[in-house]
A and B are shown apart, each in its own frame.
Chain A
Amino acid sequence: KAGVTQTPRYLIKTRGQQVTLSCSPISGHRSVSWYQQTPGQGLQFLFEYFSETQRNKGNFPGRFSGRQFSNSRSEMNVSTLELGDSALYLCASSSLHTGTGGVEQYFGPGTRLTVT
Chain B
Amino acid sequence: AQSVTQLGSHVSVSEGALVLLRCNYSSSVPPYLFWYVQYPNQGLQLLLKYTSAATLVKGINGFEAEFKKSETSFHLTKPSAHMSDAAEYFCAVSPTGGGYQKVTFGTGTKLQVIP
Contacts and interface: CB of A to CB of B under 8 A. Distances in A.
Interface of A: 4, 6, 33, 42-43, 45, 48, 55-56, 88, 90, 92, 94, 97, 100-110, 112
A106 B101 CA distance: 17
Interface of B: 31-32, 34, 36, 41-46, 49, 51-52, 90, 92, 94-103, 105, 107-108
Contact of B92 (A97, A101, A105, A110): A105
A84 to B, nearest CB: 19
Contacts of A56: 102
B43 A102 contact: no
B95 A102 contact: yes
Given A33-B102, A45-B102, A104 B43 contact: no
